[in-house]
Structure 1
Amino acid sequence: MALNPSPFETLTPSQFTTFTIPNTVNRRCHLHTPLLRIAVLDSPSTAGGGASPTIAAIIIPEHRETDWTFSTEPGHLQLLFNNPNVSRLILIGNNINPNSKPLDYVRTVVDPVVESVDKDKIELELNGLVIALHPRLSFVNGVPKPLFLTYEDDVSVRVIVDRLNGPFVGEFVVEDVELENNEFRRRLNNEFRRRLRFKRMPNLIQSQVVINPSDMELGLKSLRSMKKVKFEVDIGTLVQPYLTPMVSGISLIVAPVNDRNRLGFTPRALCLGVGGGALLSFLNSKLGFEVVGVEADEVVLNVARRYFGLNDGKSVEVVVGDAMKSVEGLNGKFDVVMVDLDSSEARSGISAPPLEFVKKSAFRAVKSLVYDHGVVVINVIPPNELFYETLVQKLQDVFHKVYAVDVKNDGNIVLMAMVSPVVVVSDDRECAFLTRLRAMVSGSYMDCIVEL
């Protein structure tokens, strides 16, 4: 049956369509199923639908067809958000049931030159299909030239460790990945990480930790198939890009924390948002904090204990519940409050913190839990400039001073709100806590903190 292009002749905000067509591609090394699955998504914004809209296509990497990034509408939406100038994004891949559970993935090792030639030839064969999926506006100046984008990441092997469903976060997976760091065909010294991903926001890595297999000579897939091989979780290394900048915010309170340590008091940290628990484990094991964590989903907490090395007990306490409601019910004061909460709504894009948290009442509630010398540290992914400016202004209205450090990773910014003026350390050599902090955290982030 011939493709009916009429549904695609106009751009309709957020219109999502999937269908299958016979596979007529001659080079079957990549697109090999009898039918091809096509997914078409129009941007939620009409800003890209002007006189010359940009229409782009991505050929789904082989063996990743069931990855939620490519098989779900939220994943497709995030790919579109990552290319903000694109008005319509078309995904083309092998027809594998998108509702199938995510499969293990091993990247096929191919000579880069051969791979590039094959890619060009496949795209040439798909030109007619992609052109047929262009809106009428694209033909004003003649037949458009198809634009193909390439999806690339550093995952060479992915193995699904567990697949679960939480009452708050929904379906999610724990996966072990091998990250390729070396030149073509070399696999020595690659990194191994354990990751937590939610289906509702599949392109976002919620948590990740370094894992160290006992035999580095074997690939991750081989290791996972060996029942007696164990992976050790490294809770002393922060690999999530924004976590080290968040910890660097503690540098603003090193003097009072050091004084409290000398008097025999243990510093306290509150973490709103736990995920895999990497931040809690680091603050406790490496910086000596007593830590309280608040997580909305108990299933996620159980996963953090089982797979990510979270060891809650005497000095690490976890509370199940809504972050803001739990804040109002907590007792005692904290030296630092770490806010790592993201939006649960995929259609708004990846953003943090959620809109319901960006209120003066919320900031006042958090401030009430912080010592006079304390700091509130917030991971921020602003969806737009207005969101960021509003957040900063409301923090400035509630707190004494607000500081920031640029994470330099997909728009992350870490904000730090002080309850009172920063106490400057008179002699770095006499501040044992500062020495400990610098040994654990890159000084480059601490040196880049600026007042807003």
Structure 2
Amino acid sequence: MGPFPSPSPFFINYIFNNYWSNDGVKQRHIVQQVTSTLTGPIVVEDVIYENGDGDGNGPIASKHSVFRRLTFQRSLGLVQSEALITRGHSQKIPAEAERKKVSSSKSRKKGSLRKNDCRMSLIDESRSNLKVDHNYLASSYHIGIISGFTLIASNLESAISSGKMVKAVIIGLGAGLLPMFLRACMPFLEIEVVELDPVISDLARDHFGFTEDKQLKVLIADGVEFVRKVAIGASSKVNADLENFDALSKERPTVPNGSPTKSPACGKSSRKIDILVVDADSSDSSSGITCPPADFVEESFLLSVKESLSEGGLFVINLVSRSPTIREMVVSRMKVVFGHLFSLQLEEDVNEVLFALPRETCIEENSLLKAAPQLEKLLKFTQTETGQNILDTARKITSLK
């Protein structure tokens, strides 16, 4: 794909007048602007925040830290993704920065613009050396998503000990920050990202350092259809295996002690999903849900999710809605479909991360506390603050069913 055109004056003025307001942005620079036929106008920008914002919860890693943001015009006032930019190498994030971490990229309003912001002196000093730090998560809802892995920590541990890869599917690429982070800290994952818009994929690669390898792939496809096909395929595979097993059992030879030999079909399992994360925003503002699109909370889709998950699998959905009625509707539907449902309500935010387990299993009240050390052993971090933040967040997860 060729280079995108430079931002038009009209587009920039529109952004200036309609989006940037009151989140403590000190300086900004538009890196790229493009209009996608699927997503609409998209902006990639570098920003520097004011040092010490009013509520003390700003996303400041240091006085002059630069953050790169991905924003969709259709989600008025919301930042889709945000990454810390470093100058040529990953920097250690001080504990104070972790405490000031942004509550959620997907619920933060864009910052105020000053007349001298276009100069971007601090950002322009070393633009050629800027790179995304994939060891740092600027969004607490990303940390919240990972913290929920404590719910299946024992299953992950068992898979790793047996030498198996864990299949993870993320619906919604954004800037690719979550899959890149998971690829680094959980090398036992086989990650497939399903993204509807190829333009988003290009931007993630060009401006956020997203790269694919043998364990991290991107599929340009519809997320709902992808899950339904996995569910249908899993069901067909199970039925075929059962039929094959019945046929072979009639012809199976026996060993001298009279015990039948193991059928080639016995012990095989379809390649279901172990971890499914839905992290996509909605293009329909009238639905009352900012994340995810309404199709992802329909009962038919939730049933497909349950069918597509492995026995010890985990379903994670990032829910953003200011309507208590819609939130209750989503929770009610998920309770009907799944054996267990858990919630993580992010502080001072409209984001809620929901975790569902497909099967009814016995889960003790203090199981998350017990599982946290298990998860800690599985994660590989270059920054201890991030790991501790994930474990601390896991303790805030509550049971809804």
If the length of structure 1 is used for normalisation, what is the TM-score?
Answer: 0.62
Find the counterpart in structure 2 of residue 189 from structure 1.
63
Superposed displacement of residue 222, structure 1: 3.1
Does the aligned pair in 2 maintain the 1:213–1:223 contact within 8 Å?
A: no
Output the amino acid matched with 2:219.
V
| CA RMSD, Structure 1 to Structure 2 (Å) | 3.2
Output the amino acid matched with 1:162.
Q
CA distance in 1, matches of 2:341, 2:31: 41
The structure-2 alpha-carbon separation of the partners of 1:152 and 1:311, relative to structure 1 and needing over 3 Å to count, comes to same
Does the aligned pair in 1 maintain the 2:195–2:223 contact within 8 Å?
A: yes
Find the counterpart in structure 1 of residue 338 from structure 2.
399
CA distance in 1, matches of 2:287, 2:155: 40
Q: Give the 5 Å matches for 1:58-207.
A: 66=13, 68=15, 70-71=17-18, 151-182=21-52, 189-207=63-81
The structure-2 alpha-carbon separation of the partners of 1:417 and 1:69, relative to structure 1 and needing over 3 Å to count, comes to farther
Superposed displacement of residue 434, structure 1: 3.4
Output the amino acid matched with 1:443.
L
CA distance in 1, matches of 2:51, 2:368: 42
CA distance in 1, matches of 2:214, 2:293: 31
Superposed displacement of residue 198, structure 1: 1.0
Superposed displacement of residue 393, structure 1: 1.1
> 2:161 matched to 1:285?
no
Find the counterpart in structure 1 of residue 324 from structure 2.
385
Aligned residues: 309
Which is greater in Rg?
A: 1
Superposed displacement of residue 431, structure 1: 6.4
CA distance in 2, matches of 1:356, 1:299: 22
Find the counterpart in structure 2 of residue 265 from structure 1.
164
More helix by share: 2
Superposed displacement of residue 213, structure 1: 2.5
Find the counterpart in structure 1 of residue 277 from structure 2.
338
Find the counterpart in structure 1 of residue 265 from structure 2.
none
Find the counterpart in structure 1 of residue 196 from structure 2.
296
Indicate the percent of aligned positions where both proteins have the same amino acid: 28
CA distance in 2, matches of 1:230, 1:377: 36
Q: Give the 5 Å matches for 1:317-396.
A: 317-330=217-230, 332-348=271-287, 351-396=290-335
Superposed displacement of residue 390, structure 1: 1.1
Superposed displacement of residue 323, structure 1: 1.2
The structure-2 alpha-carbon separation of the partners of 1:284 and 1:183, relative to structure 1 and needing over 3 Å to count, comes to closer
CA distance in 2, matches of 1:410, 1:158: 24
The structure-2 alpha-carbon separation of the partners of 1:372 and 1:429, relative to structure 1 and needing over 3 Å to count, comes to closer
The structure-2 alpha-carbon separation of the partners of 1:409 and 1:343, relative to structure 1 and needing over 3 Å to count, comes to farther
Question: More relative contact order in 1 or in 2 (CA 8 Å, sep 6+)?
Answer: 2
The farther-off stretch of 403-412 and 203-212 is: 403-412
Q: Give the 5 Å matches for 1:175-254.
A: 175-182=45-52, 189-214=63-88, 221-222=120-121, 224-225=123-124, 229-254=128-153
Does the aligned pair in 2 maintain the 1:181–1:191 contact within 8 Å?
A: no
CA distance in 2, matches of 1:363, 1:427: 28
Superposed displacement of residue 67, structure 1: 5.2
Superposed displacement of residue 226, structure 1: 5.5
Does the aligned pair in 2 maintain the 1:176–1:194 contact within 8 Å?
A: yes
> 2:351 matched to 1:451?
no
Superposed displacement of residue 267, structure 1: 1.7
The structure-2 alpha-carbon separation of the partners of 1:194 and 1:349, relative to structure 1 and needing over 3 Å to count, comes to farther
Superposed displacement of residue 66, structure 1: 2.3
The structure-2 alpha-carbon separation of the partners of 1:226 and 1:152, relative to structure 1 and needing over 3 Å to count, comes to closer
What CA deviation, in whole Å up to 9, does each residue of 1:63-122 have, x standing for no partner? x98253733xxx5xxxxxxxxxxxxxxxxxxxxxxxxxxxxx9xxxxxxxxxxxxxxxxx
Does the aligned pair in 2 maintain the 1:164–1:173 contact within 8 Å?
A: yes
**Partner SS for 1:175:** strand
CA distance in 1, matches of 2:205, 2:142: 19
Output the amino acid matched with 1:434.
E
CA distance in 2, matches of 1:350, 1:365: 21
CA distance in 1, matches of 2:143, 2:289: 20
Which residues of structure 1 form unaligned runs of 5+?
1-63, 76-104, 106-150
Find the counterpart in structure 2 of residue 115 from structure 1.
none
Find the counterpart in structure 2 of residue 434 from structure 1.
376
The structure-2 alpha-carbon separation of the partners of 1:250 and 1:212, relative to structure 1 and needing over 3 Å to count, comes to same
CA distance in 2, matches of 1:349, 1:287: 34
Find the counterpart in structure 1 of residue 356 from structure 2.
417
Which residues of structure 2 form unaligned runs of 5+?
1-10, 55-60, 92-116, 234-270
Does the aligned pair in 2 maintain the 1:338–1:377 contact within 8 Å?
A: yes
CA distance in 1, matches of 2:137, 2:17: 28
Find the counterpart in structure 2 of residue 31 from structure 1.
none
**Partner SS for 1:205:** coil
